[in-house]
Amino acid sequence: MASVTYDHVVKRYTADLTVVKDFNVEIKDKEFMVLVGPSGCGKSTALRMLAGLEAISEGEIRIGDRVVNNVAAKDRDIAMVFQSYALYPHMSVYDNMAFPLQMQHMKKDDIDKRVKNASRILGLDNFLKRKPRALSGGQRQRVALGRAIVRSPKVFLLDEPLSNLDAKLRGQTRIELQKLHRDLQTTFIYVTHDQVEAMTMGDRIAIMNAGILQQVGTPGDIYDHPANLFVAGFIGSPTMNFVPATVDNGTAKASGLEVKLPKPVSAAKGTLGFRPEAVTDRVVEGGPTMKMKVDVVERLGSDQFLYGQVGADQVTARVDPRMSVQPGDTVQLGLDTRGLHFFDAETEKALI
């Protein structure tokens, strides 16, 4: 149990290859923090620097109050779950979980107690004697978790632990991990490229792109108030609608849409952003409307997504599943201005 602080951390491989730039995050004790971003954004590198598997080029990483820049991985008292699980193939499940405890020269009885306890929590009791080779993907994943939890580490690192599981198992494990976090009362740092995992599991989310931290906040915060165009586009599925617009006297004009901005903005040009659910089939009296030429209709039972053209722009709308629309139709749609965003054309920062 400890907090983790990234203080102006930089990771540079060569003079012109910097993969993490001026990274600043404070992760509270017992928090479930998710680092999320597209592949190659530096999130794994940030985690590996904390684990002690990569050197820190600049800045400081602290676990609790202790600066760990020059502390070897084995002395940092952290546990890590790898994407590949990295189980020792020549050891039984039991020995895999006992290994980190043996490294601490713990007594055999205590090791036994802890391993048994972890295997009970993770439902591995019947597999303790098996080699990893003889386990399914999900079981291997749980052994990897077991190897981490037996140690009661200060910080628990997870590097894309679900990406090798099938969709159904991934959903289950997501819930199990949250339970585990609640039971263990330990700091979790979780790296993923999947925004759904980030949104569902994180107490807070840190979004990275191209080595730069974009925004840190609670899932709700980030969803409702994205700091910039990248965050707005990365979080949410289907993605937010972006239409280029010019601003004239507090009104944004796009190719097929005109909307009075709820707040004056300084920029004359920019991008109007609204999520599919802000587009409604109920046209609000006096509110902004748009005509959509529907290309594709997706019915998911609980939802209905319309993909089509509004003026010259692609727009996605989430509408009532009972609304009857055929591809090729032109429909009149409304826009809920409470979910409206406006991004500066140059800086891409959110102005609304």
Partner 1 sequence: MDFSVLLTDLPTLVVVIIGVPAVLAAYIVGGEYLVRRLPDKARPSVRPWIWVAPALLLVAGFLVAPAIGTLAQSFEDKNGAFIGFQNFAAQLAGFPTGGAWIAIRNNLFWLIFYTLFVLAFGLLLAVLFDRVPYESVVKSLIFMPMAISSVALVVIWKFMYAYQPPGQPQTGTLNFILNTVFHQDPRTWIQDESPLLGLFPLNDMALIGAAVWGIVGFSLVILSAALKGIPGDLLEAARVDGAGEITIFRRVIFPLMMPTVVVVGTTLVIFALKAFDVVYAMTNGNYHTDVLANRMYQLLYNSHDFGGASAVAVILLLTVIPVLIFNLRQFRAVEARR
**Residues 148-167 within binding reach of partner 1 (CB under 8 A):** 151
Query: Taking the complex as a whole, how short is the minimal distance between the CB of residue 220 and partner 1, in angstroms?
Result: 33
Query: Taking the complex as a whole, how short is the minimal distance between the CB of residue 51 and partner 1, in angstroms?
Result: 6
* Total residues interacting with partner 1, rule: CB under 8 A: 23
Determine the Cα–Cα distance for residues 337 and 250; give it in Å rounded to an integer: 13
Phi, psi of 111 (to 5 degrees): -60, -50
Determine the Cα–Cα distance for residues 162 and 23; give it in Å rounded to an integer: 25
Q: Which residues contact 345 (CB under 8 A, 6 or more apart)?
A: 267, 269, 270, 271
Query: Taking the complex as a whole, how short is the minimal distance between the CB of residue 336 and partner 1, in angstroms?
Result: 47
Region binding partner 1 by CB under 8 A among candidate stretches 76-84, 134-142, 180-188, 247-255: 76-84
| Site track 39-58 with partner 1 (rule: CB under 8 A), x = hit | ------------xxx-----
**What count of other Cβ atoms lies within 10 Å of the Cβ of residue 107?**
9
Residue closer to partner 1 by CB (options 84, 172) is 84
Determine the Cα–Cα distance for residues 266 and 104; give it in Å rounded to an integer: 60
**299 binds partner 1, rule: CB under 8 A:** no
β-sheet bridge partners, residue 190: 34, 158
How do beta strands 241-248 and 269-274 pair? antiparallel
Residue closer to partner 1 by CB (options 106, 331) is 106
Query: Taking the complex as a whole, how short is the minimal distance between the CB of residue 101 and partner 1, in angstroms?
Result: 9
The 3-state secondary structure of 104-156 reads: CCCCHHHHHHHHHHHHHHHCCHHHCCCCHHHCCHHHHHHHHHHHHHCCCCCEE
Residue closer to partner 1 by CB (options 45, 241) is 45
Contacts 24+ apart (CB under 8 A), 246-252: 247/342, 252/342
Query: Taking the complex as a whole, how short is the minimal distance between the CB of residue 165 and partner 1, in angstroms?
Result: 17
Region binding partner 1 by CB under 8 A among candidate stretches 28-36, 71-79, 259-267, 314-322: 71-79
Determine the Cα–Cα distance for residues 172 and 191; give it in Å rounded to an integer: 18
Query: Taking the complex as a whole, how short is the minimal distance between the CB of residue 79 and partner 1, in angstroms?
Result: 7
**63 binds partner 1, rule: CB under 8 A:** no
Residue closer to partner 1 by CB (options 157, 294) is 157
State the angle between helix axes of 137-149 and 93-103 in degrees (0 to 180), rounded to the nearest 10: 20
**Residues 78-137 within binding reach of partner 1 (CB under 8 A):** 78-80, 82, 84, 86, 88-90, 99-100, 103-104
Query: Taking the complex as a whole, how short is the minimal distance between the CB of residue 26 and partner 1, in angstroms?
Result: 22
Residue closer to partner 1 by CB (options 73, 283) is 73
Q: How far is CA 105 from the centre of its chain?
A: 37
Residue closer to partner 1 by CB (options 132, 288) is 132
Determine the Cα–Cα distance for residues 261 and 337; give it in Å rounded to an integer: 8
**73 binds partner 1, rule: CB under 8 A:** yes
Region binding partner 1 by CB under 8 A among candidate stretches 72-80, 248-256, 267-275, 289-297: 72-80
Query: Taking the complex as a whole, how short is the minimal distance between the CB of residue 148 and partner 1, in angstroms?
Result: 9
Determine the Cα–Cα distance for residues 305 and 298; give it in Å rounded to an integer: 5
Determine the Cα–Cα distance for residues 336 and 338; give it in Å rounded to an integer: 6
Query: Taking the complex as a whole, how short is the minimal distance between the CB of residue 87 and partner 1, in angstroms?
Result: 8
Binding site for partner 1 (CB under 8 A): 51-53, 72-76, 78-80, 82, 84, 86, 88-90, 99-100, 103-104, 147, 151
